[in-house]
Amino acid sequence: MKWYSRIARLALVVSLLWAVAPRSVVAQEGDPVYIVQPGDTLFGIARQFGITVEALQAANPTVNAKALPIGQPLFIPGFDEFSGTLSVHLLEPGESLASLARRYGLRRETLIRLNRILNPDQLYINQPVILIDRAETTAIAAGESVELEAGRSMLALAAAHNANPWAVAAANELEQPGAVPPGVRLAFPGGETPLKALPVAIRDLRLWPLPAQQGRTLVIQVVTRAPAQLSGALGEWPLNFVADPVVPNTYYALHGIYRLAEPNLYPLNVRVIDEAGRAAALVQSLPVRAGQYGTDPPLTVPPETLDPANILPEFERVRAIVTQVTPEKLWSGKFLLPSVGVIRSRFGSLRSYNGGPYDSFHGGTDFSGGEDRPITAPAAGIVRLAENLTVRGGATIIDHGWGVFTGYWHQSQILVKVGDRVEPGQVIGYNGATGRVTGPHLHWEVWVNGFQVDPLEWTEVAFP
């Protein structure tokens, strides 16, 4: 009787919607559905599928928008030519429409129509891609992709991988297996990694946390098939890769996204040179989103701390330190808070000094407390600066390795010296009111690959 109840329910939906909704949004037998996932909202679902909330509600009038039950099927209007269950996949680094089609048993043309894609060659990392559970080709749930080298046939390549050449041809939708040109990447079922469209030298590439945002830290992890040299860039910003000391052929680049970077698509370029000197590269766009930051009230500070003659040389001195990359990783796990004081001001808020424009941002997190309040190291590291400066006052910079540094400004006392190794929880100084301040406090900064990022993120996320 399931078919009967299904038809009866659809008939009720149609009768209820006939007077209040256009015919195009009325749910029909066979219309595609989406299964509600944890954390879903009607607004979020509508946004994923490029439709309005009103159209989604009209197609599902019995659904309570304020309490969506997990597992509830929702009719998705606007996809009349398809039937089945829809899902959304966030495009991973190195994935393409062709690799997704092979992985999920769909045709590339189906994905283009399903997602209304105008330029299939301009996909970006973390882009939502709509999938549907219809098997049109042989799906490859896990596998390996290999680039066909010059002078080698597809049949020989299949034989080298102990694979049936006709199965490989079918999986890659090849009409003429004997006429595959060099450089084409072929999918092989089986293997140990999810199928992607990565260069041969790269086994896997991952980015996290996503989405990338202004003032946050981005981790780029690359796993190669053999020892290699890595370099790269995100937009105009160079990336510095370091080798994992434990896991072979695994490399990391940690990058701080500039707080005032324009929200936009930036090309991520990862280049690999293997031990034989062969080069490979992956270029794919990564969206950078705006961060959610506030605006501080206007501040009045000592005029000499705003003098460019003091600001610029001091900034260059600090920058010369925090742009270095120590290949040894010294920290472990999440950072500790450097103070027990109440947070007075957060990272990223726009600031105006002495009646000037709001043309700068707060580069760290401020903690309250007088000159008797100790400052403690949040993680292990090596002291690279410990002295009094004009703008930053009593200042300490700690190198935690891999291009990660922390700074402590406005101290009344500095208890460490350059070259000292500090451990988590060690007292390194005391709060103060030196430099550009309105009162005693600790200003704490975290720098990653030469850019300030939200320090509190490092107390919440265990970066590698």
345 and 359 both lie in a single domain: yes
Last residue of a domain, one of 233, 259, 289: 289
- Name the domain count of the chain: 5
* 256: in domain: yes
pLDDT of residue 198: 85
- Cis previous bond, 209, omega within 30: yes
Domain of 431 in residue numbering reads as 303-460
Same domain? For 259 and 321 the reply is no
Which residues, at least 6 apart from 423, have a Cβ–Cβ distance to it below 8 Å? Answer: 377, 380
C-beta neighbour count of 64 within 10 angstroms:
10
Q: List strand residue ranges (DSSP E) for 290-377, in order.
A: 343-345, 350-351, 360-361, 365-368, 374-376
Listed residue (282, 445, 429, 259) closest to 360, CA to CA: 259
195 in a domain, yes or no?
A: no
| 309 and 406, same domain (yes or no) | yes
Residue 297 counted as domain residue: no
Please name the amino acid found at residue 384: R
Residue at 167 is within a domain: yes
Total number of residues shown for the chain: 464
When mean pLDDT is compared across 45-49, 214-218, 402-406, 430-434, the lowest value belongs to 45-49
Which residue would you say has higher pLDDT here, 162 or 94? 94
Specify if 223 maps to a domain: yes
Domain boundary among 64, 83, 102: 83
- CA separation (Å) from 403 to 240, 309, 412? 8, 28, 27
Residue 415 within any structural domain of the chain: yes
Q: Which of 135-149, 367-381, 448-462 has the lowest mean pLDDT?
A: 135-149
CA atoms of 360 and 365, how far apart (whole Å): 15
Which tens digits make up the pLDDT trace of 275-315?
A: 989 899 999 999 999 999 999 999 999 999 999 999 999 99
Per the prediction, the chain carries an average pLDDT of 87
d(CA 376, CA 416): 11
295 falls within a domain? no
Query: Rounded to the nearest 5 degrees, what angle is found at the Cα of 317, between the Cα atoms of 311 and 319?
Result: 95
Tell me, yes or no, whether 53 and 103 share the same domain: no
Type of residue found at 182: P
CA distance linking residue 206 with residue 76, whole number of Å: 31
Residue pLDDT, tens place only, 16-63: 333 333 333 344 556 799 999 999 999 999 999 999 999 999 999 998
pLDDT for position 197: 76
Run of H or E residues at 74? strand 73-75
User: Is 308 in the same domain as 386?
Assistant: yes
- 92 and 122 in one domain? yes
CATH number at residue 349: 2.70.70.10
Higher pLDDT, 31 or 208: 208
DSSP code of residue 295: B
* Residues 18 and 26: beta-carbon distance below 8 Å: yes
In a shared domain, residues 153 and 246: no
Alpha carbon distance 71, 59 (integer Å): 17
- Domain check: are 391 and 261 in the same one? no
Judge whether 125 and 93 are in contact, CB under 8 Å.
yes
Shared domain check, 438 and 344: yes
103: phi then psi, degrees, rounded to nearest 5 = -70, -35
**Cβ atoms 322, 400 nearer than 8 A:** no
Q: What is the mean pLDDT of residues 452-462?
A: 98
387: in domain: yes
Q: Is the pLDDT of residue 442 over 50?
A: yes
Position 284 scores a pLDDT of 95
Tell whether 62 and 206 lie within a shared domain.
no
Residue 208 sits in a domain whose CATH number is: 2.60.40.10
- What's the CA gap between 429 and 422, in Å, rounded? 12
Say if residue 193's pLDDT is above 70.
no
Tokens of residue 88, six digits: 């959304």
Q: Which amino acid is at 179?
A: A
Q: Are residues 36 and 152 in the same domain?
A: no
Using the 3D structure, point to which of 263, 289, 315 is the last residue of a domain.
289
Strand partners of residue 89: 129
Give the tens place of pLDDT for each residue, 139-191.
655 555 667 777 777 777 776 666 666 666 665 656 666 667 776 667 665 54
The CATH number for 33's domain is 3.10.350.10
Task: Note whether 362 and 388 are same-domain residues.
Answer: yes
